[in-house]
Structure 1
Amino acid sequence: MTEITRSHTGQRMSQIVTHGETIYLAGQVGTAGASVTQQTLDCLEKIDALLAEAGSDKTRILQCVIWLADMGDFAEMNAVWDAWVPEGHAPARACGEAKLATPDYKVEFIVIAAKA
């Protein structure tokens, strides 16, 4: 049986769940009320740190689901995303519009990655 490891676990969720060689991250949000650019930067910084803790990095991301509070922010978010993703390492990705936990959140990232 493949072991499941959970890190930064609370009552509602774990920030990192590892099953075998696969890493699942909880949805990451940025500083509430900040611009889409800043919130995206915050999210990607958290993703970098969590993946490093789990033994991986952004070149090993398999899938990313991105939720935007307003699809009108798509280009602004993508400007940050495109600069962050290493060339040749773009994961499978989906992006949609959704109401987030609070109106102050503009973007949320959910990542699945392989261990390095």
Structure 2
Amino acid sequence: MTQIERHHTGTRMSKIVKHGDTIYLCGQVGTAGASIAQQTQDCLDKIDALLAEAGSDKSRMLQCTIWLSDMANFTAMNEVWDAWVPEGAAPARACGEAKLARPELLVEMIVVAAA
């Protein structure tokens, strides 16, 4: 049976879950109240750090689900995203609009990656 590893586990969630060679990250958000560009960069910085801790990196991303509080921020979010994703290593991705946990949050990203 494949082992499951959980890191930074609390009552509600783990920030990282590893199952076999697959890494699952909890949703990452940016600094509440900051611009969409800054919140996007904050998310990506957190993703970089968590993937490194799990023994992976952004070039090994398999999937990313992105939630925006308002699709009007799609272009500005993509400008930051496009500069961050390694050429030729874009993951499968979905982006939709959703009410996030707090009104000051503009973006949340959920990543699955290979170890």
Determine the C-alpha separation between the residues in 1 that align with 2:10 and 2:80. Answer: 30
Runs of 4+ aligned residues of structure 1 deviating over 2 Å after TM superposition are none
**Residue 37 of structure 2: SS of its match in structure 1?**
helix
| Distance (Å, rounded) in 2 between the aligned partners of 1:8 and 1:104 | 24
Please tell me the residue identity of whatever aligns with 2:31. Answer: T
Q: CA deviation at 1:72?
A: 0.3
Aligned to 2:103: 103
- Partner residue, 2:112: 112
SS at match of 2:50: helix
Which amino acid in structure 2 is aligned with residue 92 of structure 1?
A
Instruction: Provide structure 1 residue ranges, at least 5 long, that are not aligned to the other structure.
Output: none
State the distance in 1 between where 2:10 and 2:16 align.
Answer: 11
Please give the secondary structure, in 1, of the residue aligned with 2:38: helix
Q: Which residue of 2 aligns with 1:77?
A: 77
SS at structure 2 position matched to 1:6: strand
Deviation at 1:91, TM superposition (A): 0.4
**How far apart, CA to CA, are the structure 2 residues paired with 1:8 and 1:75?**
32
Corresponding residue of 1:14:
14
1:57 aligns with 2:57: yes
Displacement after TM superposition at 1:59 (Å): 0.2
RMSD: 0.2
Structure 2, unaligned runs of 5 or more: none
TM-score (norm 1): 0.99
Matched, 1:47 2:47: yes
- Matches of 1:42 and 1:11, distance apart in 2: 24
* Sequence identity percentage: 75
- In the alignment of these two chains, the number of paired residues is 115
